[in-house]
Structure 1
Amino acid sequence: MHLKRAYPKDCLSGVGSNACRIGDRQSRYPVTIECESTGTSGGGVYEIVKTGDPVLRLTAKPLNSDEIQSEAIQQLIAAMAERMREAPGVGLAAPQVGVSVQLVVIEDRPEYIERLSGAERREREREPVPFHVLINPVLSVEGEESAVFFEGCLSIPGYQGLVARARVVRVEALDERAAPVVIRAHGWYARILQHEIDHLNGLLCVDRMDLQTFSTLENYDRFWRGG
């Protein structure tokens, strides 16, 4: 399997790039993202794309068992884990590195949680989550409880805003070996799952955000944190 950078159908070929017109604007980016080794441990060069890139608004393609176990997808998983940890972040979806397939990686490390007070951890219901991969995930909400917290995104760096999410969810998916997995999650882990799976459907957290609370990280600390 050979992974290529995903583009909307109306993209026009350019010299060394593709040009895609959105209204009267035009964005340019590399034609392909290759999976051959370029010296990184992930086996390829994958950069986190930022809001405004059309790939973030596509519905991602499901993967079959052979594709999941291919060298290309295994290299993509390794590269995504590397990018997520470098950021650092607690989750990353394949569209965020320019590949429109239904794949996410998640990991909420203990050292991230140690930065929070005990009260913040309890309020967020936040506990460490080991690294894992979810492919072709199907999410369903369990119960009617919701929680509202500030949320950010690696594709919208430097900003946060209040987002309401279901408190408890169930996810059915495949893992990196194409084996079926079922997850029932609550609290912050449920929030991470909802955020990352939204990316596979072309949605960003700003689409669900109370935009009156949309803030820079500096202003979040200044006006909202602990408020």
Structure 2
Amino acid sequence: MLFRVSPLKSLIHLAQSRKISYGQLKSWYSGLVKKPPPIPPYSHIIQIGDPVLRVVADNVPNDLIKSSEIQFLIKIMKGVFKRYDCVGLSAPQIGISLRVFITEFNANHLKAFDEAERKTKEMKIFPQTVVINPQLKVTDYTKVIYTEACESVKGYWADVPRYRAVELNGYNENGEKISINAKGWLARIFQHELDHLDGKLYTDSMDRKTLTCTCWQVVNERSGKVEIPFNR
């Protein structure tokens, strides 16, 4: 009677005869097996070029805000938000085209700036807040230009003009109406996130000559041997 030896056992025998480690073999063999791509909501932040970032997001029906599906989305967003240490994150950035974003500006974020910069940019601590179906009203049309970055445009920043003050209306994660008057840095964060929900990125309104690789000096110091991670 003939016994068939499994392909994996044959490979293990071959690896042993050629002194290939099990780890090397496992890595090679797993590369042969096609894994289905992940589906959103992702546990990573998608990058510029992904079509989802260019779609105007849909409103969440008010009666579904407290549904298990939307609450699950918010849970995933909070996890990604914490992992990437964000100040703002929109649902489209994890692959879901719905009008939901989270924002926070905490003490650690504030410490990254000196006192003069905090004052000039009107920075204040703001607790983590989920905003659903936001509507934005400009309350001060003065344009202020500061440098912005985005986790969906990893490795770059640029100068972007924004309105100085806005009024934000929407719903929180419990389906309750919220209204926030913001100026300075928080107003900028709100406008940045609203852009995401409208299929826009800061690259659409930036001063193009100021677009800068965030690590250009390190690239030179290390002769170009630098990698930018796209997950955390």
Task: Pick the structure with more strand per residue.
Answer: 1
Q: Find the aligned partners of 1:174 and 1:220 in 2 and give their Cα distance.
A: 43
- The one of 80, 83, 97 equivalent to 1:83 is 80
Q: Does the 8 A contact of 2:45 with 2:93 survive in 1? A: yes
Question: Sequence identity, in percent?
Answer: 36
* Counterpart residue number, 1:152: 149
Determine which structure has more spread, i.e. the larger CA radius of gyration: 2
CA distance in 2 between counterparts of 1:81 and 1:159 reads: 24
Distance, in Å, in 2 between the alignment partners of 1:220 and 1:59 is: 36
Tell me the equivalent position of 1:93: 90
Q: Which runs of 4+ in 1 moved over 4 A?
A: none
Aligned to 2:50: 53
Query: Where does residue 12 of structure 2 map in the other structure?
Result: none
1:127 pairs, out of 118, 124, 128, with 124
Q: TM-score, normalised by structure 1?
A: 0.77
Q: Deviations over 1:35-63 (max 9, x none)?
A: xxxxxxxxxx5321110000000010101
1:33 aligns with 2:40: yes
- Gaps in structure 2 of 5+ consecutive residues: 1-33, 219-232
* Contact 1:46/1:98 (<8 A) preserved: no
Match of 2:71 in 1: 74
- Name 1:143's counterpart in structure 2: 140
Aligned to 1:190: 187
Partner of 1:112: 109
Residue 144 to residue 66, structure 1, CA distance change in 2 (3 Å)? closer
Aligned length: 186
* Corresponding residue SS for 2:113: coil
Deviations 1:120-160, CA, capped at 9 Å, x for gaps: 11111111110111111111111221211000001011100
Separation in 1 of the partners of 2:99 and 2:212?
29
Provide the rounded CA distance (Å) in 1 between the counterparts of 2:65 and 2:207. 37
Q: Distance in 1 between matches of 2:56 and 2:76?
A: 21
Q: How far apart are the structure 2 equivalents of 1:46 and 1:95?
A: 12
Cα deviation for residue 220 of structure 1 reads: 8.7
Higher helix share: 2
Partner of 1:199: 196
Q: Tell which deviates more after alignment, 58-67 or 194-203.
A: 58-67
* 1:116 Cα offset (Å): 1.1
Residue type at the aligned position of 1:217: T
User: What SS is found at the alignment partner of 1:144?
Assistant: strand
CA distance in 2, matches of 1:56, 1:16: 25
**In structure 2, C-alpha distance between the alignment counterparts of 1:50 and 1:217, rounded to whole Å:** 16
Alignment correspondent of 1:7: none
CA RMSD in angstroms, aligned pairs only? 2.1
